[in-house]
Amino acid sequence: MKLVVAAVPGAGKTTVLEYVKKKFPRVRIVSKGDLVFEYAKKHYGIKNRDEMRVKLTMKQQRTAQDNAAKKIGKMKDKVILVDTHFSIRTPSGYMPGLSTNMGRHMKIDGVVILAFRPKDVLARRKKDKSRHREKETEEEVEGQQRANEEFAMAMANDFEVPVDIVNLRYKQKSEFEHARKASEEIVKIIKRLQKQ
User: How many Cα atoms within 13 Å fall on the side-chain side of residue 55?
Assistant: 14
Give CA 23 to chain center in angstroms. Answer: 20
Q: Total structural domains in the chain?
A: 1
Q: Per-residue pLDDT for 50 more than 90?
A: no
- Under DSSP, the state recorded for 128 is -
How much is the mean pLDDT over the chain? 91
Res 91: pLDDT: 75
Query: How does pLDDT run across 16-36, given as a tens digit for each residue?
Result: 999 999 999 999 999 999 999
Res 186: pLDDT: 98
- This prediction has a pTM of 0.90
Contact 147, 96 (CB under 8 A): no
The whole-angstrom separation of Cα 32 and Cα 122 is 22
**Cα dist. 148→34, 84, 117 in Å?**
19, 11, 14
Q: What is the CATH number of the domain that holds 114?
A: 3.40.50.300
Mean pLDDT of 152-160: 92
Please count the residues of the chain. 196
At residue 55 the predicted structure's pLDDT band, cuts being 50, 70 and 90, is confident
Query: Which residues lie closer than 8 Å to 13 by C-beta, 6 or more apart?
Result: 5, 6, 7, 83, 114
Res 56: pLDDT: 87
Q: Per-residue pLDDT for 49 more than 90?
A: no
Res 103: pLDDT: 87
Mean pLDDT of 106-121: 94
Mean pLDDT of 90-111: 85
Q: Per-residue pLDDT for 37 more than 80?
A: yes
Give percent above pLDDT 90 in the chain.
70
Domain extent, residue 132, equals: 2-195
Res 32: pLDDT: 94
Q: Per-residue pLDDT for 53 more than 80?
A: no
Give percent above pLDDT 70 in the chain.
99
At residue 57 the predicted structure's pLDDT band, cuts being 50, 70 and 90, is confident
Res 164: pLDDT: 97
- Looking at the chain, the number of H-run helices and the number of E-run strands are 8, 7
